[in-house]
Amino acid sequence: MKTKYTVGLLSCMMLLSSCEELGFQLSTEQGAGTFSKQSILLDVRDDAQTIQNAHTRAGSELDDFKIIFFRNNSETPEASYIYSEMPDVIVLPVGLYSVTATKGVDVEAAWESPYFLGKSDAFQIRKDSITSDLEPIICRMQNVKVSVEFDPMLTAKMTPDSYVEVKVEDNPGLKFTKDTEGQAGHFKHSEGVSLVATFNGVVEGATTVETKSFEAVKKGYHYKIKFKLHSQDSDQTGQTGAEVNVDASVTPINLDTYEVEIGEDEDLGDNERPKEGDDNPDVPTPPVQGSDPVITVDSPSGLVLDHEYVVTDSDVENGIKLSVSSNPGIFEFTVDIISPSLTPEELESFGLSDHLDLVNPGDMAGVLSGFGFPVNIGGEESATFSISPILMGMLQGVGAGNTHTFRLTVSNADDKTGTNKRTVVKNLILKL
């Protein structure tokens, strides 16, 4: 599924001379405006379905989402509602806002407890006006989903009290048994955590312990773990008296892809089984047929990338928009700012840099998000880089007579390690 983001990249940079630190109040106007509930569209991502246009689904699971309004990058909510109880129109003080949508609680470990979170781009509430043009809010699962399957041959030969304990890092574990097949556990995620699944049981009269480890698990992924019986003959003649072992395989599924087929696992050969001391055997990744990312101009029609473009009054009024498409999804997306007036020193004073990483923003994530920039967008197949009319006007005010270059570097890859990485670099060069 393709999702578009609006990246107001210049929003914070235009405020160097006039706003309070990280406050970025774009208007000194007093009073209030209104916000229409109809403008809130939720795009909820999980492995079962994608649900869009929440306001058309009365009584659905979307009604349980909590909708929170934050003003001027404050950490204190201006207003919050349960979606089903939210008025059709609410009144808010004039200012710059973002909306956060959440569902569930981010618990350490629990059965069938997904936690969803999404945040809108920044938008304005203007005096005596109704705001109703909000982009869909992408709500992704923030925890780690795990399910365990036992091969029928193993189920027939293990005792009823056999189980698999699954733990993510030091969080409390959950015990999966043959009675819990079809259920999923959800685990709290933090960067770099590992998943460990340990089979404990008696198989054909032998006490058996088998551990499967998967490093650096990702939030928003479903890890399907399958345990199978593996009998290795004690000699090469096919005689009985076999050594009984339990094998485990892990299939990680990105819940944003919706294109994963899980077939029956083939029996593992001896050379494919985890060896002693090898807790992290490689999980094979199917090849991806990809192509170079593409960056194109949506508007204005006369703008050509990598060539200087003289900004017109019409551009200031209507803004500039570029589209980015990537198949497979975005692996890297950075923006380098080359400008005589937006220097690294000036940007640093606002917690920014002349090099912005929209996939791995690190400590800058909060600042970028507060100014309406999308963060952690790795894996998305499309994005929109736009300069709104208000930002064009502000850039014209502080940078008249100068040339400003925004260098966009976008890459994708056939897997998460960067195999067969394809990179495209384009320059948006604006002369004011």
Domains of the chain: 1-24+288-432 (no CATH), 31-141 (2.60.40), 144-272 (no CATH)
Rounded to whole angstroms, what are the CA distances from 232 to 74, 157, 199, 238, 269? 62, 16, 18, 10, 10
Report which of residues 373 and 251 the model is more confident about.
Answer: 251
Q: What is the pTM of this model?
A: 0.51
Return the pLDDT at 28. Answer: 40
Q: What confidence tier does 145 reach under pLDDT thresholds 50, 70, 90?
A: very high
Is a pLDDT exceeding 60 seen at residue 106? yes
Judged by DSSP in three states, 200 sits in strand
Where do we find the tokens 């909590």?
66
Which range has highest mean pLDDT (141-155, 288-302, 371-385)?
Answer: 141-155
Q: Could you give the residue ranges of the DSSP H alpha helices within 63-207? A: 152-157
Phi, psi of 319 (to 5 degrees): 85, 175
Q: What is the pLDDT of residues 152-196, one digit of tens each?
A: 989 999 999 999 999 998 888 999 999 998 899 999 998 888 999
Residue 276 predicted with pLDDT over 70 = no
Are 46 and 184 in contact, with CB atoms under 8 Å apart? no
Helix (H, G, I), strand (E, B) or coil at 397: helix
Task: Give the span between the Cα atoms of 378 and 356, in whole angstroms.
Answer: 14
Lowest average pLDDT, out of 49-58, 142-151, 253-262, 419-428, goes to 49-58
pLDDT digits (tens, 9 = 90+) for 242-274: 455 787 777 777 776 432 222 233 333 444 444
